[in-house]
Amino acid sequence: MTKSNSPFTVIRNLRQLTTPVTNGKPYLRGREMRNIETVDNAAIVINSDTIEWIGRDTDVPDQYTDDANIIDGNGLVALPGFVDMHTHMVFGATREEEFAMRCSGATYQEIAAKGGGINNTVRTTREADKSRLRKQTMRFLDKMIRHGTTTVEIKSGYGLSEKDEVKMLDVINMVKEDHLINIVSTFLGAHAIPPEYKEHREEYVDLVCKKMIPYVAKKNLTGFCDVFCENGFFTLEESRRILQTGIEHRLAPKIHADELSPLGGSELAIEVNAISADHLEHISDKAIEMFAKSDVIAGMLPGVSFYLGHDYAPARKLIDAGAIVALATDFNPGSCVSYSVPLMMTMACTQMKMTPEETLTAATINAAAALNMSRIVGSIEEGKQADIVFLQMPNYMYLPYHFGENHVAAVMKSGTWLEYR
Ligand code: NIG
Ligand code: FE
């Protein structure tokens, strides 16, 4: 890069630039999800942290090149930075012993019923202090950006006490200050019933509704409230109460719905007008039609189905019906130990029959919409934050095609150039 006083950085000589085209919309639904634009031999002009101009390399206006910082794109392919709209990446310790048990036939539910699963991570997360959790999370974030993720949502939910849920949100807000990645926090106090409330669960739901939600909202620790609506976790009635209490405190509702059984969390998501409903492996046909007519975003998490050996959510049916579909890793120590969005794109293509174009839209603009961020990120369009991933590959379709390899050669995050070769 040549140093200059120009406010512009020009990235030239890109083999291809591919982005969803929004025409100002916050998300793309149904067939629109294939609306992507590809520019061959492209260039991008950045003004400080914002995208100023995109087009063919031969068409870059002189006003941008005079005295500008020029970066050689080296024939890389540019895509919007990935938005991982669902993770649980703050946790005390990993759970490889449970993985081994599952390999020998134990199910996720059996392990959870014996005090493992989420409550195993609750134990280790309660023991960990903020500084250790912060350090580990910063390391994960460094790896995630290396895989092309430039915006990530992180949930609490391994504290499950007033003190430890606030500790988790504090850690998320600390890394938000310290890391280049855009970070969005979600309160998930209703992730599981903690062991000390096993025999009187209604008291825990009371604690979440009467103490935790009012406190995290008043202190501005988050803007979202999530619940794990599932047999053995939170009932439909409890989930409704928790999400409605969140709404009363201006926390936008999110939900883990119909993951292990068809409990009706999808219908509840429509009822409370959730910003997103994630998992949906057992969504009913009726709820699919309801999603198609609503603005609730359907978050697909194929990494969980792959990792637990469960059924995949009906992404194809949802898109064909006209729903807004997003894609995320659900990175957590139990049900998906991967923060690779491209790997999720491969699974979405091969297991859910989404097209490469749909997976790109799902992992960028639609995922950004699930975080209320799509006005700022999620596509390479003029005026958006300069969050762009540069990959060593022949074209955008190659990304889900060649899996298990990290093709990311460089990332521009809010105008900062990070090179990895
Ligand atoms: O999204 N479904 C609930 N929660 C996580 C799993 C978390 C864990 O096992 O620690 C999920 O899959
Ligand atoms: Fe989750």
pLDDT in tens, 356-374: 999 999 999 999 999 999 9
Judge whether 132 lies within some domain: yes
Q: Using an 8 Å Cβ cutoff, are 68 and 10 in contact? A: yes
For residue 285, what is the enclosing H or E element? helix 285-292
Q: Is the CB of 259 under 6 A from ligand 1?
A: yes
Distance (Å) from CA 307 to ligand 1 centroid: 12
CA distances from 372 to 83, 171, 198, 369 (A): 12, 21, 35, 5
Nearest CA to ligand 1 atom 3: 228
Q: How far apart are CA 401 and CA 406, in angstroms?
A: 12
Confidence of residue 126 (pLDDT cuts 50, 70, 90): very high
- Residue 1, domain member (yes or no): no
Do 63 and 94 belong together in one domain? no
- Segment 158-178, tens digit of pLDDT: 999 999 999 999 999 999 999
Task: Name the pTM for this structure.
Answer: 0.98
Contacts (Cβ under 8 Å, ≥6 apart) of 89:
137, 140, 141, 152, 154, 331, 332, 339
DSSP strands (E only) in 64-217: 69-72, 77-80, 82-84, 149-155, 182-190
Residues 49 and 130 in one domain: no
Substitution candidate for ligand 1 out of 86, 88, 228 with most atoms within 8 A of CB: 88
- Whether residue 330 has its Cβ less than 6 Å from ligand 1: yes
Q: Does residue 150 contact residue 371 with C-beta atoms inside 8 Å?
A: no
Q: Is 304 in the pocket of ligand 1 (CB under 6 A)?
A: yes
Domain CATH for 296: 3.20.20.140
Residue 421: pLDDT band with limits 50, 70, 90 = confident
Is residue 36 within 8 A of residue 23, CB to CB? The reply is no
pLDDT value of residue 3: 57
Calculate how far, in angstroms, residue 334's C-alpha sits from the geometric centre of ligand 2.
10
Half-sphere exposure of 304 (CA within 13 A, CB side): 26
Same structural domain for residues 413 and 276?
A: no
Q: Are residues 65 and 175 part of one domain?
A: no
- CA 304 distance to own-chain centroid: 13
Is 332 touching ligand 1 by the criterion CB < 6 Å?
A: yes
Residue 1 scores a pLDDT above 80: no
**Residues 164 and 34 grouped into a single domain:** no
- Residue 312, classified by CB atoms within 10 Å of its CB into exposed (0-12), middle (13-18) or buried (19+), is buried
Mean pLDDT of the chain: 97
Mean pLDDT of 217-228: 98
| 299 close to ligand 1 (CB < 6 Angstrom) | no
Q: What pLDDT is attached to residue 83?
A: 99
What residue numbers bound the domain in which 128 lies? 82-369
Nearest to 343 by CA among 410, 387, 402: 402
Pair of tokens at residue 308: 């637990």
Number of domains in the chain: 2
Q: Is the CB of 188 under 6 A from ligand 1?
A: no
Q: Tokens 């293509």 — which residue?
A: 349
**Residues contacting residue 352 through CB under 8 Å, at least 6 positions apart:** 300, 302, 312, 313, 314, 315, 316
Strands 388-391 and 408-413, by their bridges, are antiparallel
For residue 301, what are its two tokens?
Answer: 């998490």
Please indicate, yes or no, whether residues 411 and 333 belong to a single structural domain of this protein.
no
- Given 329, 346, 369, the domain boundary residue is 369
The answer to whether 69 and 3 are in contact (CB under 8 A) is yes
pLDDT beyond 80 at 2: no
| Residue 6, pLDDT above cutoff 90 | no
At 397 the pLDDT is 98
For residues 155-159, give the mean pLDDT: 98
Domain membership of residue 204 (yes or no) is yes
- Minimum CA distance residue for ligand 1 atom 9: 334
Q: What is the dihedral of CA 419, 88, 33, 318, to 10 degrees?
A: 160
Q: Does residue 158 share a domain with residue 135? A: yes
pLDDT > 70 in the chain, percent:
99
- 58 and 18 belong to one structural domain: yes
Band of residue 73 on the pLDDT scale cut at 50, 70, 90: very high
Q: In angstroms, rounded to a whole number, what is the distance separating the alpha carbons of residues 305 and 343?
A: 13
pLDDT confidence of residue 115: 87
- DSSP annotation of 208: I
Would the CB of 335 count as within 6 Å of ligand 1?
yes
CATH number of the domain that 59 lies in? Answer: 2.30.40.10
Q: Do 356 and 391 reside in the same domain of the chain? A: no
Q: For residue 3, is it within any domain?
A: no
Q: What is the pLDDT of residue 68?
A: 83
**What would the mean pLDDT of 194-200 be, rounded to a whole number?**
96
